[in-house]
Amino acid sequence: ERRCSSLQHKSALSACVTGQKQTNCHESWSLSPEEFEIWDRLYRIKESDGIKEPVLPRVQFETLENLEETPKEGAARELSLTEWSVWQNQPLPTSLVDHSDRCHLFIRAMEMMELMRHQQGDCSYEQELQPHLRMEDVNIPGNKRRGRCSR
């Protein structure tokens, strides 16, 4: 039993290829028998390789109803987007594609968190912004006490 079957969107080619002999179901969108042979030999992750199939984490909203069920991926290795967060407070090198605006925002936010990590007592960000607060700009909920930075 191939592990590809645990993928949620079964890759079209494995669905095609594992079921029947690859020759009769080959269409121009899928691998040709020769290409399949190369993929199978060089790239396909097999049980004997001793490595887990990499999968991306699924989207999950903590405060909303989630439409997609989260499958239990026991045999897979979920790629982490947070494990190397210490690496993320500077732009990493690019090749052909430059960093986007939201990527730069992310890097700046990571930088800011790094700076605030060791802060104690009053929050410097709060102190910086507090003088500019105009009460008519904000919707004041029940209590009027200003919140403290809780980090």
Partner 1 sequence: HPFLSPQDTVDRLLRLHFRDGRTRGTGAAAGGPGRAGPCRAPASRNRLVLAVNADAQLLMAELLKVFVREAAARAARQAQAEDLNKVDIEQLEKVLPQLLLDF
Footprint on this chain of partner 1 (rule: CB under 8 A): 9, 12, 26-32, 35, 54, 77, 79-84, 87-88, 91-100, 102-103, 106-107
Q: Residue type at 41? A: R
Which one, 58 or 77, has the nearer CB to partner 1? 77
Kindly state the smallest distance separating residue 103's Cβ from partner 1, in Å. Answer: 4
Count of residues making up the chain = 151
Rg from Cα positions in the chain: 25
Which residues fall within 8 angstroms of residue 57, CB to CB, at 6 or more apart? 78, 79, 80, 81
Which one, 71 or 149, has the nearer CB to partner 1? 71
Which one, 102 or 146, has the nearer CB to partner 1? 102
Kindly state the smallest distance separating residue 101's Cβ from partner 1, in Å. Answer: 9
Which one, 82 or 143, has the nearer CB to partner 1? 82
- Are 123 and 148 contacting, i.e. CB atoms less than 8 angstroms apart? yes
Say what the alpha-carbon torsion angle 71, 72, 74, 76 is, to the nearest 10 degrees.
30
Kindly state the smallest distance separating residue 57's Cβ from partner 1, in Å. Answer: 10
